Amino acid sequence: MPIKKLKKFLDKNKVKYTTLKHSAAYTAQEVASTAHIKGKELAKTVMIKMDGRLAMAVLPASYRIDLNELQKAAGAKKLNIANEKDFKDLFPECETGAMPPFGNLYEMDVFVASSLVEDEHIAFNAGTHTELIQLSYADFERLVKPKVATFSFKE
């Protein structure tokens, strides 16, 4: 989803947001540091395979995912982190690993760590490794309707 498509979706839904450009960074912690955002306020998207289908797990950059807890929360029989080859073709407009956490636009379940819900604003990759979008968590929740669960812990 190129930044234009995402911005159009946000504008259509009357969401106030900020676009932040930063030096190229590839890990969530690098992005947070380069963009001068607290790791807790940067939402990273982890692609997961849940009972054979893809879904998104969204958590703060400074946290790690607990797959056992997410599996319980999702009610899945089998859950693991997806391989890049499993999802890279689903987001042809995005740089690999820089997809925004809008799984709803791809008919994918989105799980959000309860630790992210506490933030007034969140930022996330906007399809590239050099651009972020920042908006209120309330707007993100309204648009994506994620399933909130406790599945992350601070590194």
Q: In tens digits, what is the pLDDT along the chain, a chain of 155 residues?
A: 457 778 889 999 999 999 988 888 878 778 878 887 887 888 999 999 999 999 999 999 989 999 999 999 999 999 999 999 999 888 888 888 899 999 988 899 999 999 999 889 999 998 888 999 999 999 999 999 999 999 999 87
Q: Which domain holds residue 59?
A: 3-154
pLDDT value at residue 2: 54
Nearest 5°: phi and psi at 71? -60, -45
Amino acid residing at 103: G
Tokens of 18: 């900020």
Residue 128 and residue 94 in contact, taking contact as beta carbons nearer than 8 Å: yes
Long-range CB contacts (within 8 A, 24+) of 73-78: 73/111, 73/147, 73/149, 73/150, 73/151, 74/50, 74/109, 74/111, 74/147, 74/149, 76/50, 76/51, 77/51, 78/49, 78/50, 78/51, 78/52
Q: How many CB atoms lie within 10 A of CB 142?
A: 11
Tokens of 72: 């319980």
Amino acid residing at 62: S
User: Which CATH number characterizes residue 57's domain?
Assistant: 3.90.960.10
Question: Number of structural domains, the chain?
Answer: 1
